[in-house]
């Protein structure tokens, strides 16, 4: 009996849902980079640092610099909104479970033998595409399209509002001096 270590099992599971060219290590490295570069949440939401921009030029400067400075914070806000959307919608949660289950079943079956439909052997990418196509009606019934647009809209509103109204630090102002054209 062959026993797999935890690392081997997690690497095998990661290969199920990671596109080619990506690995679980790359995703973890990206997330760790984001976590390290995150700004303190207390200064991120400090109400004393918010004000109405004087003009459109200042608004543009704030948005550009704040998106650069708080990029990691904004990424975690986006991920949090996605998580909230999935958790608050039981149908979407079920649809994701069906989708993941279909991929897992196909993976297990492909280890045993090749899938044959109408006398033709389907390669693994075609099997995964078939699972995705079968899952589309479930996602449609669960309202996944509305959820995607809700997350995008909420993210743009929250991030846009923060970036526009959050004042720049003193050192950031000197860096962004624009010359008149």
**Percent of the chain scoring above 90 in pLDDT:** 28
Q: What's the whole-model pTM score? A: 0.68
* Residue 95: exposure state from Cβ atoms within 10 A (0-12, 13-18, ≥19): buried
Give the angle 41-152-48 at the CA atoms, nearest 5°: 30
Question: Which pLDDT tens digit goes with each residue over 66-114?
Answer: 999 999 899 999 999 999 998 898 888 888 888 888 888 877 877 777 7
Taking only the tens place, the pLDDT of each residue in 13-64 is 445 445 556 677 777 887 788 777 788 888 888 899 999 999 998 999 999 9
The rounded distance, in Å, linking the Cα atoms of 155 and 158 is 5
Report the alpha-carbon distance of residue 72 to residue 50 in Å, rounded.
19
What is the predicted pLDDT for the residue at 122?
77
Residues 147, 153: Cα–Cα separation, whole Å = 10
């Amino acid at each position: 009996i062959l026993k797999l270590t935890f690392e081997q099992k997690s690497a095998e599971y990661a290969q199920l849902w990671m596109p080619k060219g990506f690995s679980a290590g790359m995703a973890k490295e990206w997330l760790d980079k984001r976590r390290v570069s995150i700004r303190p949440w207390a200064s991120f939401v400090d109400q004393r640092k918010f004000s109405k921009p004087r003009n459109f030029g200042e608004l543009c400067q704030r948005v550009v610099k704040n998106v650069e400075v708080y990029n990691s914070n904004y990424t975690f806000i986006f991920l949090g909104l996605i998580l909230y959307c999935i958790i608050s919608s039981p149908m979407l949660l079920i649809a994701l479970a069906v989708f993941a289950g279909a991929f897992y079943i196909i993976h297990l079956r492909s280890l045993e033998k090749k899938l044959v439909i109408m006398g033709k052997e389907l390669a693994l990418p075609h099997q995964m595409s078939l699972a995705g196509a079968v899952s589309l009606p479930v996602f449609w019934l669960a309202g996944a399209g509305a959820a995607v647009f809700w997350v995008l809209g909420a993210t743009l509103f929250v991030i846009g509002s923060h970036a526009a109204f959050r004042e720049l630090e003193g050192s950031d102002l000197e860096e962004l001096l624009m010359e008149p054209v």
